[in-house]
Structure 1
């Protein structure tokens, strides 16, 4: 990347580059037909911490919001493929909803870069960090939007964006040039459906089918952004739409081979993840889909590696194929709102249909062939062996071709001789054991039979189960047993749409005492899940939870006492298969680069946080602790809580989602930590099927305080 920038980029003063790059949005062509593709802020050293803080907090002050953060993607590369040449690669998709949402009523295609990526990358052998984004003119040109109002309003906020980045990170500002876009920049589809009785149910079902179709082909649903929920007045502004959302698509193997490995092109991350928009107009039975083609990457970045071009061709072919497999039909890349107004008038404009054009690597020029010379080659007809062959005659033009198809030869029979057992000269050993000898396995089995110690919920072979599983009982029966064991019921709440997963939140004095220390409030209550569909119950293991959530304040004595009381009153419990190494629980993380317990996410701050959540129907319980802190549990949005369908319903006792309000701050356990801690058998591939859920959980928690 350093060599690439030194060769092709020109360094300007910070303000002049920002102004020139953004003013290019209003022009159609620059000198020598060279355009600005992207703005890069180049900073000496590793600046990812400053960059993360800027994207997560500072950009909010100028209206840009982070949708689905993907920090240190290179850690996933290293974990999956064992190596990486990158020191950091993070994708931070951002969007300015206040700007974009009104423009959707003029040209909905503007959603094709809402969000767009603010990428950071740095190679291991570099001492420079690169932070960049595509310039708005390129985005608009790729989308095919020529409306002056949309172009002007969409481009305007980028000056403030780049000024803020320059102020926060410093360094130099540079631009990447490009010559031209490909002829076909977009794929556009429509999906016609029968008008449903309940549009929300239809959308839920469609989204699940769509997401699984891509997941099953190795793609990641790396982001989800609903414009209808993006601002308090979004539904009012978008009153002509039933739904409008975008997906961020990613393919891990593709991205590894594009951004990493030999000859890596991490700057291609400017386009990643790919944004795909979808919407349904009110009164319509058509779902409209649009996304830019990956050919834009190779054309603008002059990618010549045949391996990478083949990958681009594969995805540019496969994505439309998946959409067509779902019953979608290709349509031209035009503004559908204008098309609807003029649909009665036949259009003579050439349609920009989905292209089957392939990206071709440059090939060396070869000597021209002299077409005038014709060399005659004498070809002798082959002798046709007709013996033991089937003869077929085929007429080709004016000639008849004779083909001899040989018969299959018979297998040769071997003379076999009967096996003579008397010739077996192998050495035989007798099995001898001392008198009254008993093998160790028998001894262990006998001890297990006579032992009365069940070890349910306790540490066994260094591991401890996350849950205590039991036979089904009704919610009322479970509550009575908890009360008999000396516990207080805080709330009973369904945690899925059907209401067949019910979480009973319970506590006692010892739990509150353990929780009444700084950042320890998450242990204040435990959960009992009643699954009326699978006819089971699950209780969070107090030993497992306390070891993880109390860190160095772990109180083993009280945790064991709580466990004994549960086992005494729930007599048919068993250890769950979900378990982790007991001593590793305080420092648990799903994988390298993922959050630990202490990496909590602040979702709100202020002196009146408790006032903000009063009479909020999303808050299903509130628990006051001895140190003045408050633990609340919230109901996640309908879309967010569907994650249990993907990774299993057994462990849904992690809900309602806990938020700790302490010292004027509302904090949550990072969802990437909390989900994996409560689903200890979760695999990376399973985690990828719910890639959008962690960020959605954060947003749901933030909304409670707005």
Structure 2
């Protein structure tokens, strides 16, 4: 009887561990340095092969770290400087045609659009990592519940993953995490404006204030994607929204203290995508962005210094948005 009880307890424990685990990040792990092939051959052929287009690339971020934090003459010199990666590149991509119907039904999906098709090579090993956050996990973080949107979003990644494997091969790994996300995965805001005025003028004035406020706090505007204009260019109806755009945000010192100090894999989350949209005829602009606490949960970041940075960035971003007149929702 006791043996049966022990076996039953073990099985239940095993099932629980399986039920509460989730996919975190998908990587192709390829022998050697793949930087040149990735940038000069793979990326130029990406859109024709998969439908994904590149915007606002940031290659060789490791060089920028070394120039700033590894230079004794720089005021931001880090006395503990140690080069840990010899290639770190952020390459935001999106499949605009595939996203069209998804954003019409589930605008919060833009919380990871564009997303980073990360490439990095740790200095301690002769292997290159190419990958992205698991799409189902992206959906769970952003709160997309529409069944059709979820299915289309996940399917959208299949040609991309197949093409990475076709071009680079390597071992495909999918990292796991406990499946437990923060109680609040997203920071969400609302701005109310006078609909009697010109919406475009109001948005442009807001964008100037927004960029200045973040740059004052040492953030980099690392990207900008205007989906409203994109779909006008593609002649795809997007009249549900008067405005729809996404900013890519990066706090350079924060990124250095995570990506160059042992967790380059967390670079899949960078830059942070903050989306803004105004539904047609509305006088409210809705804003959303995944919290940095999500990084900690999904990448299982245990380092106390990194955790301190994560709490600081989440708090600071919310503070900046409120200073611009945002209401948390």
Q: Name the structure 1 match of 2:37.
A: 50
Residues 42 and 167, structure 2, Cα contact 8 Å, conserved in 1 = no
* Stretch of structure 1 that moved more, 225-234 or 87-96: 225-234
2:69 paired with 1:69: no
Residues 88 and 120, structure 1, Cα contact 8 Å, conserved in 2 = yes
The CA deviation at 1:198 is 2.5
The CA deviation at 1:193 is 1.1
- Kindly report which structure 2 residues correspond to 1:350-499, keeping only aligned pairs within 5 A, or say none: none
The CA deviation at 1:36 is 1.2
Matched residues in 2 for 1:55 and 1:283: separation? 42
Q: 1:236 to 1:174 in 2, by over 3 A?
A: closer
Supply the RMSD in Å over aligned alpha carbons. 1.6
> Among residues 278, 293, 317, which one is paired with 1:280 in the alignment?
278
Q: How many residues align?
A: 301
Matched residues in 1 for 2:89 and 2:233: separation? 31
Matched residues in 2 for 1:174 and 1:293: separation? 25
Q: Name the structure 2 match of 1:156.
A: 155
2:177 paired with 1:190: no
Q: Name the structure 2 match of 1:292.
A: 290
**Between Structure 1 and Structure 2, which shows a larger proportion of helix residues?**
2
- Kindly report which structure 2 residues correspond to 1:44-123, keeping only aligned pairs within 5 A, or say none: 44-61=31-48, 62-82=50-70, 83=81, 84-123=83-122
Q: Name the structure 1 match of 2:220.
A: 220
Matched residues in 2 for 1:149 and 1:172: separation? 31
Matched residues in 2 for 1:175 and 1:325: separation? 40
Residues 101 and 234, structure 1, Cα contact 8 Å, conserved in 2 = no
The CA deviation at 1:259 is 0.4
Deviations 1:63-87 (A, max 9, x none): 1011110001111101111152210
> Among residues 292, 304, 318, which one is paired with 2:316 in the alignment?
318
The CA deviation at 1:124 is 1.8
Deviations 1:207-250 (A, max 9, x none): 01001111101111100000112245657521121110000110
Q: 1:156 to 1:236 in 2, by over 3 A?
A: closer
The CA deviation at 1:54 is 4.8
> Among residues 38, 41, 48, which one is paired with 2:28 in the alignment?
41
Deviations 1:653-706 (A, max 9, x none): xxxxxxxxxxxxxxxxxxxxxxxxxxxxxxxxxxxxxxxxxxxxxxxxxxxxxx
Q: Name the structure 2 match of 1:302.
A: 300
Q: Name the structure 2 match of 1:265.
A: 263
> Among residues 302, 324, 327, which one is paired with 2:325 in the alignment?
327
Matched residues in 2 for 1:199 and 1:59: separation? 36
SS of the residue aligned with 2:183? Answer: coil
Residues 119 and 269, structure 1, Cα contact 8 Å, conserved in 2 = yes
The CA deviation at 1:46 is 0.5
Q: 1:235 to 1:110 in 2, by over 3 A?
A: farther
Higher relative contact order (CA 8 A, sep 6+): 2
Deviations 1:479-531 (A, max 9, x none): xxxxxxxxxxxxxxxxxxxxxxxxxxxxxxxxxxxxxxxxxxxxxxxxxxxxx
The CA deviation at 1:308 is 0.3
Matched residues in 2 for 1:58 and 1:315: separation? 36
2:149 paired with 1:143: no
Matched residues in 1 for 2:113 and 2:21: separation? 26
The CA deviation at 1:267 is 0.6
SS of the residue aligned with 2:117? Answer: strand
Deviations 1:134-181 (A, max 9, x none): 111000000111111000111112111111001111211111011122
Q: 1:135 to 1:54 in 2, by over 3 A?
A: farther
SS of the residue aligned with 1:190? Answer: strand
SS of the residue aligned with 1:244? Answer: strand
Matched residues in 1 for 2:235 and 2:301: separation? 42
Residues 186 and 288, structure 2, Cα contact 8 Å, conserved in 1 = yes
Matched residues in 2 for 1:103 and 1:233: separation? 18
- Choose 1 or 2 for highest CA Rg: 1
The CA deviation at 1:56 is 2.7
SS of the residue aligned with 1:57? Answer: helix
Taking structure 1 as the reference length, what is the TM-score of the superposition? Answer: 0.42
Q: 1:55 to 1:255 in 2, by over 3 A?
A: farther
Residues 244 and 277, structure 2, Cα contact 8 Å, conserved in 1 = yes
SS of the residue aligned with 2:90? Answer: strand
Residues 92 and 117, structure 1, Cα contact 8 Å, conserved in 2 = yes
Q: Name the structure 2 match of 1:590.
A: none
SS of the residue aligned with 1:195? Answer: coil
Residues 232 and 238, structure 2, Cα contact 8 Å, conserved in 1 = no
Residues 144 and 150, structure 2, Cα contact 8 Å, conserved in 1 = yes
The CA deviation at 1:33 is 2.0
Matched residues in 1 for 2:293 and 2:269: separation? 11
SS of the residue aligned with 1:104? Answer: helix
Matched residues in 2 for 1:319 and 1:308: separation? 17
Structure 1, unmatched stretches of 5+, are 1-28, 332-706
Q: 1:47 to 1:196 in 2, by over 3 A?
A: farther
The CA deviation at 1:197 is 3.2
- Kindly report which structure 2 residues correspond to 1:543-558, keeping only aligned pairs within 5 A, or say none: none
The CA deviation at 1:60 is 0.2
SS of the residue aligned with 1:37? Answer: strand
Matched residues in 1 for 2:99 and 2:269: separation? 19
SS of the residue aligned with 2:282? Answer: coil
Q: Name the structure 2 match of 1:450.
A: none
Taking structure 2 as the reference length, what is the TM-score of the superposition? Answer: 0.88
Could you list the structure 1 runs, at least 4 aligned residues long, displaced by more than 4 angstroms after superposition: 232-236
